[in-house]
Amino acid sequence: MRDFLSDKAKKLKPSGIRKFFDIVSERKDVISLGVGEPDFITPWDIREAGIQTIKRGYTQYTSNKGLVGLRQEIVDYLRCNYNVDYSVDDTMITVGASEAIDLILRATVNPGDEVLVPDPSYVSYKPCVELNGGVAVSVPCDGENGFKLTRKNLEKVVTKNSKILIFPYPNNPTGGIMEKEFIDEIVPFIIEHDLLVVSDEIYAELTYGREHCSIASVEALKDRVVLISGFSKAFAMTGWRVGYVCAPKPILDTMLKIHQYAIICAPIFSQYAALEGLKKGKLNGYKDIKEMRAEYDRRRKFMHKTFTEMGLSCFEPKGSFYIFPSVKETGLTGEEFATKLLEQEKVAVVPGDAFGEFGKYYVRCSYAYSMKNLVEATERIARFVKGLKG
Amino acid sequence: MKNLKNQLVELLSENARYTFSQLASITGESLAQVEKAVSELEESGIITKYSAIINTEAMDQENRKVQALIEVKVAPQKLKGFDSYAEEIYSFKEVQSLYLMSGGFDLAIFVEGKNITDIAMFVSEKLSVIDGIASVQTHFILKKYKIEGHITNPNKESERQIIQA
């Protein structure tokens, strides 16, 4: 019998955290700071809307692009909150933002095309690029500089084959954001090199102290930004699998083509539930999101203070629900730190190199956990760090 | 200070064993401020007691006490308002909690005893005989699903994954 696997699939590296995940799973009584989803459950109104959809017998496919009512609400939401202007026709509902990321790369990457990916960032971009025969090129984002994307660092890696820039802000794992002034700094570069910007804004609602600035709101970049977002993080709807993409017409139409064949549509009850979330939010000032954000903010301050007091150099995160302390002072790499920490104190954090080579001396800790858990976990980490120094 | 006290009430209700140092870290205030605030909360009687919340469902049957909710209706009498009924009732050691309620009855009493007989005796010999008590309905607690915010036996399958990107 022959080997049925495709070369591309075989070449794909397994997830950087797979190995670590397997080790963690075998341990009992581990306090984990390793998850990438909210600890809140979906607000009641939204759940109720989903339930009613099923009760009423809405169990069939929606149109490929998704419920027009939901697309309209999304367009209004983006316009009102982020000054971003897309039409209902150029908006599509996807199975989570994850599908949108996959689709855009499938729609645009030719073999040999280079895709600039900030490093460190979310684990899925590079594999999706490679699955399409593209080349993922890391753009270093310095910890000393808030992990921002800079013209200087982009210039170091851009070539004539560079076609796409992945722009994931607020950022997983670093918690970094790109304020308007820093976006403006790279706009000429993007135009000069004729790049398509894929803006993954899944954490847009979770910024602290400053509202999110979408790169899609930059007039000069009109027609070259694909905006991807969803309901998983801000609305605590990770399991519902509902996200969206807004793109210039030729790109959206091509993504639609692929989506029609591969997926057909996102789940109908998830779409109705998301619609309820947006409608209710509009009426009550997005009360639920604001409450969750306030709670995350409290935990964020606690985590930053605690890691700093431990003597670890730690960037104060401005978005998402992750904190990314450097463990360089301990003399260990992120992976070594995480492994030893797990063995000695039964706390699981994610090694930074899972997110790119420039994450090598960092670990990612999620604060999507109760305060009680965070207090316990950080005490154990502090004890561990003290032990390393002593 | 008021905001800090509110935060501390919330935090200590959640976990009475937070140390002052932990409370200081969480609230972002100084250790001295936290100690002062907690002290004031105790002195003013807002914080009355620190006690462990026991999940009786997790104990062996023979060690569990029996608990009941008793609904009491009183006939309001001259010179005897609800407060005076309450004073008589809460002085019994069997009474864990006593609340004045709106709705179909007047007083809700949570009692605890070694066994059903114990509680039955309390009701017949101590409670029902109080002058002015119009009716008494005793409901025994069979199973506790959630105690003070804590789910006693959560569904394990719905637990989150330990680690994700």
Give residue-wise pLDDT tens across range A128-167: 999 999 999 999 999 999 999 999 999 999 999 999 999 9
Which residues of chain A lie closer than 8 angstroms to B157, CB-CB? none
Q: How far apart are CA A368 and CA A387, in angstroms?
A: 27
% of chain A residues with pLDDT over 70: 100
Beta bridge partner(s), residue A351:
A363
By C-alpha distance, which of A168, A129, A211, A133 is closest to A322?
A: A168
The CA–CA distances, whole Å, from A6 to A10, A12, A94, A131, A259 equal 6, 10, 26, 10, 22
Rounded Cα distance, A83 and A329, in Å: 42
- Please count the other Cβ atoms lying within 10 Å of the Cβ belonging to residue A220: 10
Closest-CA distance of chain A to residue B96, Å: 28
Does B165 score more than 90 pLDDT? no
B53 touches chain A (CB under 8 A): no
Residue of A297, A273, A86 lying closest to A175 (CA atoms): A297
**Under an 8 A CB cutoff, do B22 and A35 touch?**
no
Provide mean pLDDT across the span B104-117.
94
Cα dihedral A180, A186, A192, A195 sign: negative
Q: Do A35 and B18 touch (CB under 8 A)?
A: no
- pLDDT score recorded for residue B158: 63
| pLDDT tens digits, one per residue of A195-252 | 999 999 999 999 999 999 999 999 999 899 999 999 999 999 999 999 999 999 999 9
What's the CA gap between A14 and A18, in Å, rounded?
7
A17·B163 Cβ contact <8 A: yes
Q: How do residues A287-317 score in pLDDT, each as one tens digit?
A: 999 999 999 999 999 999 999 999 999 999 9
pLDDT given for residue B18 in this prediction: 93
Nearest to A35 among B15, B18, B164 (CB): B164
Supply the pLDDT for residue B153.
83
Burial class from Cβ neighbours inside 10 Å (0-12, 13-18, 19+) for residue B1 reads exposed
Which of A125, A304, A371, A374 is the best substitution to test chain B (most B C-beta atoms within 10 A)?
A371
Rounded average pLDDT over B109-115: 94
How crowded is residue A59: how many other Cβ atoms within 10 Å of its Cβ? 10
Let me know the angle formed at the C-alpha of A243 by A104 and A174, rounded to the nearest 5 degrees: 80
CA dihedral B29, B31, B33, B34 (to 10 degrees): 90
What share of chain A in percent tops pLDDT 90? Answer: 92
Judge whether residue B159 has pLDDT over 80.
no
Strands A225-230 and A243-246 turn out to be antiparallel
pTM for the full model?
Answer: 0.89
Residue B142 reports pLDDT greater than 80: yes
Going by pLDDT thresholds of 50, 70 and 90, the confidence category of residue B157 is low
Tokens of residue B125, six digits? 């010999």
Report CB contact under 8 Å: B162, A21.
Answer: yes
The per-residue pLDDT for A17 is 76
Q: Is the pLDDT of residue A355 over 70?
A: yes
B162 has pLDDT over 80:
no
Chain A residues in contact with B164 by the CB 8 A cut-off are 17, 34-37
B82 CA: distance to closest CA in chain A (Å): 39
Token pair listed for B74? 């009183």
Distance from CA of A366 to the nearest CA of B (A): 10
User: Which residue does chain B place closest to A21, by CA atoms?
Assistant: B163
* CB count in 10 Å sphere of residue A104: 26
> Which residues of chain B neighbour A309 with C-beta distances below 8 Å?
25
Residue A295: closest C-alpha in chain B: B26
Tell me, what DSSP letter sits at residue B46? S
The Cα of A88 is separated from the nearest Cα of chain B by a number of Å equal to: 31
Whether chain A has a CB inside 8 Å of the CB on B28: the answer is yes
- Taking CA atoms, A62 is separated from A6, A91, A263, in Å, by 33, 14, 12
Q: β-pairing, A114-119 with A162-167?
A: parallel
- Residue-wise pLDDT tens digits, B54-105: 888 888 888 889 999 999 999 877 767 888 899 999 999 999 999 999 999 9
* Alpha-carbon torsion, ordered A114, A119, A121, A122, to 10 deg: 50
Whether residue A22 is predicted with pLDDT greater than 90 in this model: the reply is: no
**Pairs of CB atoms within 8 A across A/B:** 55
Within an 8 Å CB–CB cutoff, is residue B142 touching chain A?
no
Nearest residue in chain B measured CA to CA from A40: B160
* CA distance linking residue B132 with residue A331, whole number of Å: 77
Pick from B56, B55, B18, B52: nearest CA to B38: B18
Cα A350 to Cα A368: distance, rounded to the nearest angstrom: 14
Q: How far is CA B19 from CA A372, B5, B8, B28, B31, in A?
A: 12, 15, 11, 14, 10
Q: How far is A191 from chain B (nearest CA, A)?
A: 32
In Å, how far is B12's CA from the nearest CA of chain A?
A: 11
Contact assignment for B14 to A371 by CB distance below 8 Å: yes
Q: Give the pLDDT band of residue A35 (cuts 50, 70, 90).
A: confident
